[in-house]
Amino acid sequence: MSAPLDHFARYLAGEHTASAHTRKAYGDDLARLARYAGDKALDVLTPTDVRGYVRQMRSGGLSPASIARVLSAWRTFYKVMQRDLGWSASPLAGIRPPKRAQRLPAAMTVDATAALLDALPDDDILACRDKAIFELAYSSGLRVSELASVTLTELDLDHGLARVTGKGNKTRIVPVGRVAIDALRRWLLQRPQLARDGVGTVFVGKTGNSLSVGAIEARLRTWRQRLGIAERLYPHKLRHSCATHLLQSSHDLRAVQELLGHANLSTTQVYTHLDYMALAQAYDQFHPRAKRKPD
């Protein structure tokens, strides 16, 4: 079966213009298929065969996400073989990857979030900047890329609003809370000491250029160490915390969707699971008929 594999390799390098990394990944996935097939030709495999291979991958400890990627590579291979070499129906027809376990967004508690933000000093120019960054992240539920790219012209602190550009180059207007406004005003008074001429982003680094996503992430890690916080912290956790706390208080899923800039409500609905988990924990702790009887 080397000829079909060679043909597919040429397709990836030519028509598909895949990167070297992508070509290697496809090659590894097809090598896996060839190992499973053994002496059986790839053009005569059946859906039953592929289901057996899926079981082998699961029993071998491969995650659902990895299995989904492998199946996607195999599906692409068979589509090309059908189109170019006249192979019959794909054995991937009707094959679905295993369901992935839903990963709940990691959020801080209200008290932990307040403790972090209140502990951040603003007694020097960089600390003042960092406090403004993280107050804005939590206040408005911004992605780290949105924090890095927000510009001076997109801030309207008099009205407590900011215009941000999110995924898919879509813009939205988000509210900015009072504490974040105060932190931003203090930072903007000092920003001219760092910012180079012509740099329009709100947050800049020591060189005067726009602060990068990586730099923002690194600054939160630095503050975590300085403050002796054991909990793992990253900017997106502040976004998750904002969404979770707002939903717990308002129960307005649509409003949270608009704030976060989610295209689909189903993306926002994952936060309801956290709300239900908190409710269940409170129920178990406080409801008089939920408590277990002592042994």
Q: What is the pLDDT of residues 47-92, one digit of tens each?
A: 999 999 999 999 998 988 899 999 999 999 999 999 999 998 899 9
DSSP 76-98: HHHHHHHHHH---S-TTTT--PP
Give the per-residue pLDDT at 272. 58
**Rounded to the nearest 5°, which phi and psi values hold at 213?**
-60, -45
Q: What is the pLDDT of residue 267?
A: 58
Query: Which residues of the chain have a pLDDT value below 50?
Result: 274, 276-277, 279-280, 282-283, 287, 289, 295
Other Cβ atoms less than 10 A from the Cβ of 76: the count is 18
Eight-state DSSP code of residue 202: S
Cα separation, 22 vs 228, in Å, equals 41
Per the CB < 8 A criterion, the answer to whether 108 and 76 are in contact is: no
Per-residue pLDDT at 50: 95
> Rounded CA gap, 142 and 172, in Å?
11
CATH class of this structure's domain 110-234: mainly alpha
The model carries a pTM of 0.59
Class for the domain spanning 2-85: mainly alpha
Query: In this predicted structure, what is the pLDDT of residue 184?
Result: 97
Burial of 122-155, coded b for 16+ CB within 10 Å and e otherwise, reads: beeeebbbbbbbbbbbbbbbbbbbbbbbbbeebb
The segment(s) of the chain belonging to CATH 1.10.443.10 are 110-234
Determine the Cα–Cα distance for residues 175 and 144; give it in Å rounded to an integer. Answer: 17
pLDDT for the residue 81 = 95
Q: According to CATH, where is 1.10.150 located in the chain? A: 2-85
CA gap 168, 142 in Å, rounded: 15
Q: Which two tokens stand for residue 4?
A: 């079909």
- pLDDT at position 103 is 60
Residues labelled as active-site residues: 143, 167, 236, 239, 262, 271
The whole-angstrom separation of Cα 52 and Cα 55 is 5
250-265 residue pLDDT tens: 777 777 777 777 667 6
Q: Determine the Cα–Cα distance for residues 73 and 30; give it in Å rounded to an integer.
A: 8
State the sign of the Cα–Cα–Cα–Cα dihedral 257, 262, 266, 269: negative
